A and B are shown apart, each in its own frame.
Chain A
Amino acid sequence: MIPYDVLYKIAIFAVIVVVTAVLAKIFSLLIKGMFRTWAPVVRTHTQRLVSISIWILGLIFAIEQLGLRTDLFLLILGLLGIGALLAVKDTLENIGAKYFSDVYVPFKVGDIINVRNSSGKVIEINPITTVLLTDDKKLISVPNSVFVKEKVVNMTPHVWKEILVPITIRSDVDLPRFESEVLKACNKMRRYLDDRFPPVLTVKGRGKKYVDLVLALMVKAPSKKNEIISNVNQKISEIEGKMMRGKRKRRK
């Protein structure tokens, strides 16, 4: 027979876990709704980060309710974390830079760039470095952290026109239909875009849960870039939301 107070603690633990799950979901939806104009890939990662943080806090709190001590555990975890961060500081800096350069640094594989007096075609962007191929067929490896600290010149033709919008959708979203909706929304902005380059959506990666896409647009005037990006991001959020709602309705 399990004593009453143990049962009570387990019940409290279960309630906290359920409340944590609900809070994680609510915050995830709030972020999605509030930051519609953010790049979808940043929004998705923020949602995940906040969700994970809520879960960690909730679980620690729940474990404490069971009467287990978590302070020592937390201290060790924190020290280990600081030690690990210091040990791989440079690598993390590069990985972090890669994460941000994915979204904000204006070059991609295939572009011709100049950085720290080195010029070449970008042939690889890995988590640590970006590899350039020079005209005389030499390889230059540039740490990713350089790109967020130093001036990068992209010399690819038409590149100033280019807007690349990274999009992450759930793999159960109907991709052909999603693409159709996104392209139709972009076509409505035609007057701001270069007639010779209609919008193109490309699959960049496929995981079990998510599909990474990139929407390429070419603007007529660079001054409109931010406005277009913000509009496109908002439209994408609406389309994704509409499709998910449709899916839930069909399930019901």
Chain B
Amino acid sequence: MNRLCLCISSQTPLVRFNLSYEDLVQKYRALDQPVDLSRLVEGEDYEFTAGGVTRMVFPLLKRMLQEGRIVNPHWISLNPTGPEKVTTAGITLDHVQLERNKLKGYGYAKETMWKALHGIQKGIEPVYSLLWQDEFVDYTYYNRLCSELAMQLDRKNDFDLFYVNDFQQLPMAHMLHTLKPKIFRWHIPFDESLIPEMWKQSLASYFNAYDVVIMSCKRYLKSLKRFGYKGKAHHIYPYIEQDIYKKPSQREVEEFNYKFGIREDDRVVLVVARLDPMKGQDRAIKGFAKVVKNFPDARLVVAGNGSFSSSKRGIGLSKAERWLAKLHELVKTLEAEDRVIFTGHLTHKELQAAYERCEVTVLPSVLEGFGLVVIESWLYKKPAIVSSMAGVAELVKHEENGLLFNPDDPDDLAKKLSAVLSNQSLASALGENGFKTSRQCFIERGMKAEAQVMLDLVGRPANRRKVFG
């Protein structure tokens, strides 16, 4: 074998199914597992999950397969509905299913962890003692299911490498009873000072079970080392498949305007993020409300819906709906109902039109692992105003390729918005320079860095020289 046999694992699945396997069998009469995704209808039977899994992990695997770097990859993920095994683009998707009560407990535990790691609910008892609660046992149960499946697949496929994604699956390496190399990619923010004291020993032992940890930016990498991780660690900026972002036609932009009631002379300020308090849409609305008097044609377009966790076909947490209701209330309080548009989920074509149509984009996150939407915005040469608390802020040189702002200060955002909306040459320069910077997050670069990490781990035996060149 001269290519790597890879087992990847992420909580979020590549596709969400609208129908159960039984319903799919009924619809198509015969449908053996693994189900070939190309036999199903996108939008009707399934949808690709929004976010990093589809934008980053999937293209990475496809590229690596095309270039002959990997062979027969398996991708383990949580998928409460749909078939257990699916194939697409040469990748086998192995789905783990959890019973409703365990799914609820798992959802609670991982949400509590997520909040704690984002500095929310610091010092509160349920957070403090999470690791002793039954919900954490459900979190462990889910990870054990994934690990057992990975070991079972390993016996058949003899994997060269395990690649585990994000905090929901951190315990996996500790559970995988094999000496084979294990890589962990941490996607959310990492600040060792936010980790509850009582969790530190457990988290450290989970981290130290990996051979390599990859963080999204330098800041988080430094924090991981301060935390006491002893193994190899790297930072690789998240990346996107830039070629799929095409310039939309005039008609597509007009259709977008029509669908969301955007007038021809409106000056669009765009926020693209899933609906979540951490994404800071409220900060964007507050900052925007302060500039509307000076820019009567400005309109804020808030695009995005809930994540896999908050979807009914996912973990079923209702935080996106609650957050949207709060945002509507805020808009009403600020008397900006006619100035703010909530689009919900955008298709890829609509997203392209949104970027093309806008004048400036804002990433208002309170805390953000990275912020690939800034890179998307740069691909359309749009100026980006970026929260200083986002990982991508590391790539922003203030007033050169973007503007940084403090997400806790609406006046600061208002100032930066006014600067861009009132100075066309500044806006163009920021967009042009941003476009140049975006190359740092192109998939070729990301794949090269990922392959190098894998190469360092698995070694370069004679039979792999061809693969890694």
- Residues of chain A touching chain B, judged by Cβ–Cβ distance below 8 Å, are 175-177, 179-180, 183-184, 187, 190, 195-198, 200, 202-206
**Known contacts A176-B141, A176-B144; A187 and B202 CB within 8 A of each other:** no
Query: B201–A183 contact, CB under 8 A?
Result: no
Q: Which of B133, B177, B197 has the largest number of chain A CB atoms within 10 A?
A: B177
What is the minimal beta-carbon distance from B198 to any residue of chain A, in angstroms? 6
Query: B132–A197 contact, CB under 8 A?
Result: no
Query: B140–A179 contact, CB under 8 A?
Result: yes
Inter-chain CB contacts under 8 Å: number: 47
Query: A183–B137 contact, CB under 8 A?
Result: yes
Out of A175, A190, A200, A203, which one reaches B132, CB within 8 Å? A190
Does B145 have its Cβ within 8 Å of any Cβ on chain A? yes
Task: Kindly list chain B residues whose C-beta atoms are within 8 Å of the C-beta of A183.
Answer: 137, 140
**Known contacts A175-B148, A196-B200; A187 and B175 CB within 8 A of each other:** no
Does B174 have its Cβ within 8 Å of any Cβ on chain A? yes
Query: A198–B141 contact, CB under 8 A?
Result: no
**Known contacts A198-B131, A198-B202; A203 and B177 CB within 8 A of each other:** yes
Query: A198–B132 contact, CB under 8 A?
Result: yes
Query: A195–B132 contact, CB under 8 A?
Result: yes
What is the minimal beta-carbon distance from B145 to any residue of chain A, in angstroms? 5
Task: Kindly list chain B residues whose C-beta atoms are within 8 Å of the C-beta of A180.
Answer: 137-138, 140-141
**Known contacts A197-B201, A197-B202, A198-B202; A179 and B141 CB within 8 A of each other:** yes
Query: A187–B148 contact, CB under 8 A?
Result: no
Assembly CA distance A177 to B136 (angstroms): 14
Query: A184–B134 contact, CB under 8 A?
Result: yes
What is the minimal beta-carbon distance from A189 to any residue of chain B, in angstroms? 10
Query: A187–B134 contact, CB under 8 A?
Result: yes
Task: Kindly list chain A residues whose C-beta atoms are within 8 Å of the C-beta of B144.
Answer: 175-176, 179
Task: Kindly list chain B residues whose C-beta atoms are within 8 Å of the C-beta of A175.
Answer: 144, 148
Query: B138–A176 contact, CB under 8 A?
Result: no
- CB nearest to A174 among chain B residues: B148
Task: Kindly list chain B residues whose C-beta atoms are within 8 Å of the C-beta of A187.
Answer: 132-134, 137
Assembly CA distance A206 to B152 (angstroms): 12
What is the minimal beta-carbon distance from B136 to any residue of chain A, in angstroms? 7
Interface mask (B166-181 → A, CB under 8 Å = 1, otherwise 0): 0000000011010000
Assembly CA distance A179 to B147 (angstroms): 13
Task: Kindly list chain B residues whose C-beta atoms are within 8 Å of the C-beta of A176.
Answer: 141, 144-145, 148
Assembly CA distance A187 to B174 (angstroms): 20
Task: Kindly list chain A residues whose C-beta atoms are within 8 Å of the C-beta of B134.
Answer: 184, 187
Out of A195, A202, A204, which one reaches B198, CB within 8 Å? A195
Q: Which residues, 196 to 213 on B, are CB-close (under 8 Å) to A?
A: 197-198, 200-202, 205
Task: Kindly list chain A residues whose C-beta atoms are within 8 Å of the C-beta of B131.
Answer: 198
Task: Kindly list chain A residues whose C-beta atoms are within 8 Å of the C-beta of B140.
Answer: 179-180, 183
What is the minimal beta-carbon distance from A45 to any residue of chain B, in angstroms? 21
What is the minimal beta-carbon distance from A74 to any residue of chain B, in angstroms? 43
